[in-house]
Amino acid sequence: MGKFFDLDSPLIRGLNKLADVMLLNVLVLIFAIPLIVEQFFLLSPVYVALMDTQSNFQFGEYIGVILIAWAGGIICSIPLGPALTAMHFVLLKIYRDEESYIAKTFFKAFKENFKQGAILQVLQFVVFGIIVLDFIMTSNMNSIFRYIVIAVGLILYMASLYIFPLQSKFENTILATLKNSFLVAIMALPKTVAMVMASLLPILLFYFFDLKLLPLLFLLGIAGPGFLCAALYSETFKKFEPKQEAVSEEEELEQAIRKIDDEEN
């Protein structure tokens, strides 16, 4: 029983990882607050009307509000891109049991990836906004165009799951990161499908349990599915990472001392 609660036991290591993921989720939520507040106040009437089973909901009546929410969301989502990039950088370290200070590493990665992460987030928000508007415009049409929009949206969503993980792990241009996200999504298609399911898990749970699940979503709603995704793409990323040469214990100790000295200076 004593070994079961040892600091190095699987249980304690798992609980430590869970606590780290929770902390990471709160950090990301801080940078998501502007977008959440903006979308909540602008789109609440649309959501209420959509959930009202007694009314005949027409998207066309709310198209103006949706457009304003989309335009405002582009600006409000800017800090979320670097935050998601930093989140995936830390999540991969947590999954691989690589030692790091969660908050310190997060803010360092946030700063280093701010420009590209922000641009990628804006591009992503614009593109998915166009997809949503196309879906709304074709919602009353019994044509093939609606299914084309859904198919294109699904392909883009699968590729988008790799954008911030790739940005966090590999140095590349924005165009190269976007291109690689499509390539990796296709190359690791079974894992990509699993990542889609993992990323949609909070939405599914919220649909069935509503506000009862809000505390859990506050602690794990973003970083929780992100950790599952990191577990899935970790091995795929290793194929593209530079090989590390094996070092002796003396060399490893020297590197650790050098790293501590650098941090103190």
Convert the pLDDT of each residue in 106-160 to its tens digit.
999 999 999 999 999 999 999 999 998 888 777 766 678 888 899 999 999 999 9
- Specify burial of residue 261 (Cβ count, 10 A radius: 0-12, 13-18, 19+): exposed
231 pLDDT more than 80: yes
Is residue 42 within 8 A of residue 65, CB to CB? The reply is: yes
Question: Quick one: CA torsion of 141, 70, 59, 156, rounded to 10 degrees?
Answer: 30
1 pLDDT more than 60: no
Convert the pLDDT of each residue in 235-260 to its tens digit.
999 998 887 654 455 566 566 666 65
The per-residue pLDDT of the chain, averaged, comes to 86
Is residue 74 within 8 A of residue 126, CB to CB? The reply is: yes
pLDDT at 43: 86
pLDDT at 230: 96
pLDDT at 110: 97
- Specify burial of residue 101 (Cβ count, 10 A radius: 0-12, 13-18, 19+): exposed
